[in-house]
Structure 1
């Protein structure tokens, strides 16, 4: 059995990130990110379906993968954090099972990402452009960390997280 290597790259910066609001599915980038640096020519490339992820990798041959889609934030899409009901936001921040926005809970997102990591990738090298929430969920899965850790991870634009899998997922620092 050969190992699987997965690099998750966060999409480039959006206006939503700049002003502190949840993104819309068709949220564009503030500006083109430029070259993503040294990327493997042997890797297979994937992208989340949202516009901001696809724009981050314009010019590369990528396959859009629904498993990398962002968390469905329901009625909170496009909403500034300051305009949300404070009680509902606090519930969402402390209870991974909560979905006061009517969309996907953090627990459901983490389960979806874990299933994707465990079943969607063949052996070899993969590079995927996705979202901060998806990267957080992948980190929790690889580490076997509790869902309560989700809100303690910051993933800035264009951040990279490396994983390897040979019998189990491992977080790989480079």
Structure 2
């Protein structure tokens, strides 16, 4: 049996526009409209379990996509940014430039006293590997969770985490058997073009 996981990143909101570490902000009007418009483009397997991480933007994206999603397990939670939560990258860089550089360079470094990139990658890998052989999951999760899943699926080093860009409202699919995963790289969730 093949396990399938479709990771969906949240739609746009003010936090993303400001390069701010999640502060619990809602989707903005354009993000909500884009997610509603994309609802018909999201193709899920029959009987797929829909889950969403705890952030407001993920929950609202799942709702706008028409998913009846339950809370995602802890393995799919957003990275804990500690005291950086709610601050912009520019603010943190101005106040703690050495820590920002270390966060981007050292996967074991826990930013703001939170969780390291290596920690995120380890728990996402554990969650993926613990899935039942016939699991079908749609998960609306933060971009760092998608990055961690791709790193694990490809067997890449944790340092590859920052080499994965995850745009808002995109889907990245993983399918696998046993310890092997295949990756279907993210594409935008947008209504089909009638001219296609």
Q: Judge same fold: TM > 0.5, yes or no.
A: yes
* Structure 2 gaps, min length 5: 188-196
After the TM superposition, which residues 114-125 of structure 1 pair with which residues of structure 2 at under 5 Å, given as runs? Answer: 114-121=125-132, 123-125=134-136
Which protein has the bigger helix share? 2
Q: Deviations over 1:81-132 (max 9, x none)?
A: 1111111100000000001410000000100100111114551421110010
Q: What are the residue-to-residue correspondences of 1:1-174 with 2, within 5 Å?
A: 2-24=1-23, 26-31=24-29, 32=32, 33-34=35-36, 35-36=38-39, 37-40=41-44, 42=46, 43-58=48-63, 59-65=66-72, 66-84=74-92, 85-121=96-132, 123-167=134-178, 168-173=180-185
SS at match of 2:123: helix
Give distance in 2, aligned partners of 1:38 and 1:151.
Answer: 26
Extract unaligned runs of 5+ from structure 1.
Answer: none
* 4+ runs deviating over 2 angstroms: 38-41
Question: What root-mean-square deviation, in Å, do the aligned CA atoms of Structure 1 and Structure 2 show?
Answer: 1.6
Helix, strand or coil: the match of 1:126?
A: strand
**How many matched pairs?**
172
Q: Compute the TM-score of the two structures, normalised by the length of structure 2.
A: 0.82
